[in-house]
Amino acid sequence: MTDCLFCKIAEGLIPSAKVYEDELVLAFNDIAPQAPVHILLIPKAHIESAQTLSEENDALLSRLFKVARTLAKEKGLAETGYRLITNIGNDGGQSVPHLHLHLIGGRQLKWDN
Ligand code: 5GP
Ligand code: ZN
Q: Is 102 a catalytic residue?
A: no
**For residue 2, pLDDT beyond 90:** no
**For residue 33, pLDDT beyond 60:** yes
Segment 47-104, tens digit of pLDDT:
999 999 999 999 999 999 999 999 999 999 999 999 999 999 999 999 999 999 999 9
Judge whether 25 and 43 are in contact, CB under 8 Å: yes
DSSP secondary structure letter of residue 52? G
The verdict on the CB of residue 6 being under 6 Å from ligand 1 is no
List the beta strands (DSSP E) in 1-113.
18-21, 25-29, 37-43, 82-85, 101-105
In 3-state terms, what secondary structure has residue 13?
A: coil
Atom index in ligand 1 nearest the CA of residue 93 equals: 2
Judge whether 25 and 61 are in contact, CB under 8 Å: no
Helices within 34-113 (DSSP H only) = 58-74
- Residue 8 one-letter amino acid: K
In 3-state terms, what secondary structure has residue 88?
A: coil
pLDDT band at 17 (very low <50, low <70, confident <90, very high): very high
**For residue 1, pLDDT beyond 60:** no
pLDDT given at position 112: 83
**For residue 5, pLDDT beyond 60:** yes
